[in-house]
Amino acid sequence: MGAEPTSYCRIVPTPFSRLVAVTLSFALAGGAASRPAFADDDKPRKSGVLDGHLRQDGLGIELGAIMQGGRTEFASNNLGLSPASQGIVLRDRNGMTARMVIGLLIAVGGAMAASGPKSVSSRSYVSGNYIVTETTTTYYSEEEKRQMRENTSKAIGSVFASKYSDMELHLYSRDRFGFGDTSGYKLNFYIGSGTKVAFETGFGFGKVNSIVDNAGVPTKLSYKYLGMPFRLSSVRGPLRLALTYEWNWYKYGVEDVDRQVHLDMMGNAVADVTSHPWHFDVSTVAFKRVSLMGGVTMQEIQKPKNVGYFLQAGVMF
């Protein structure tokens, strides 16, 4: 009698599942190493498997994977198009990156303000057959410049003395490490303070393009970001809860017609999706090493039905 073939089910991992698996493997491999430090407390702490305080107050670098879907900030509510976004996350929680970048911007802004004119006035009058315009430029005195330098120094000092800081970089790809519909980046810098409830703000920028199918036509959804994020967060038990609003300067330059499908100079179908999104997330750290986050996104808080979601898993070093 011949042997009967044995049936089996073949499991084919997706590219993103491989990325998550590699991320968690790094976390387990690094579990024996020292845990991330705390920004404001060097004393040993007792914590369970899940630690929300480490997610809020921990000091360290995080590398992980991100997955987004539904009506996120990269989607089009007008057209009903929702790209699947996948990529990697790099975060510096309570480190020096955001402090140095924001401090440098304050220093440059202060120097430009001190070297620029204090006021400019002009007047015109008729002299013979000519119209003469006189312009008077007033510059800051040395004492005023000294005071401005002192104020700038104090502002930079407060940035480096702030309790919280965050640098969050999201990188998306369609063919390298993400394999979704989205390609581009989004970067936010935060500084903040608070005890039971933390308030953080800063600035951010980004550019993301998504290619989705719209009735058989490949359509590019174009997202641009330059603005200020505002975040409220608090630790509740083993979890950290956070609400973020991203004010986007580019939203004011997008007309309604731009949000509809139109052709660009190359003849490709495109639509702009720039917005002021809201994000609510729940996060924690497992085994003092693995960072986990899940949340929802709404472009317009008045339309709760248009909701997107995002999931993150990373390793804290």
**How many domains, in total, are found in the chain?**
2
Helices (H), 128-171: 142-161
Domain containing 116 equals 106-154
Evaluated on CA atoms 202, 295, 12, 217, the torsion sign reads negative
Residue 53 confidence (pLDDT): 94
More confident residue, 62 or 260: 62
Burial class (CB in 10 A: 0-12, 13-18, 19+), 154: exposed
- What's the pLDDT score for residue 261? 87
Whether residues 140 and 23 fall in one domain: no
Q: Kindly provide the b/e burial profile for residues 293-303, where b requires at least 16 CB atoms within 10 angstroms of the residue's own CB.
A: bebbbbbeeee
pLDDT in tens, 100-137: 999 999 999 999 998 898 888 999 988 888 998 999 99
Query: Which phi and psi (to 5°) does residue 197 adopt?
Result: -125, 125
2 within a domain of the structure (yes/no)? no
One domain, residues 84 and 117: no
Is residue 27 pLDDT above 70, yes or no?
Answer: no
Terminal Cα distance for the chain, rounded: 59
170 and 223 together in one domain: yes
Task: Report yes or no: 89 and 186 within 8 Å, Cβ to Cβ.
Answer: no
**Whole-number pLDDT of residue 9:** 40
* Band of pLDDT at residue 176, cut at 50, 70 and 90: confident
Residue 9 lies in a domain: no
Torsion angles phi and psi, residue 13, rounded to 5: -70, 140
Give residue-wise pLDDT tens across range 223-244.
999 999 999 999 999 999 999 9
For residue 77, being part of any structural domain is answered with: yes
Q: Are residues 84 and 126 in the same domain?
A: no
Residue with tokens 């409220």: 232
Report CA Rg, the chain: 25
Q: Quick one: 70 and 116 in the same domain?
A: no
Give pTM, 2 decimals: 0.82
Q: Which of 91, 124, 154 is the last residue of a domain?
A: 154
**How high is the pLDDT of residue 56?**
95
Q: Which amino acid would we find at residue 108?
A: V
Mean pLDDT for all residues in the chain:
86
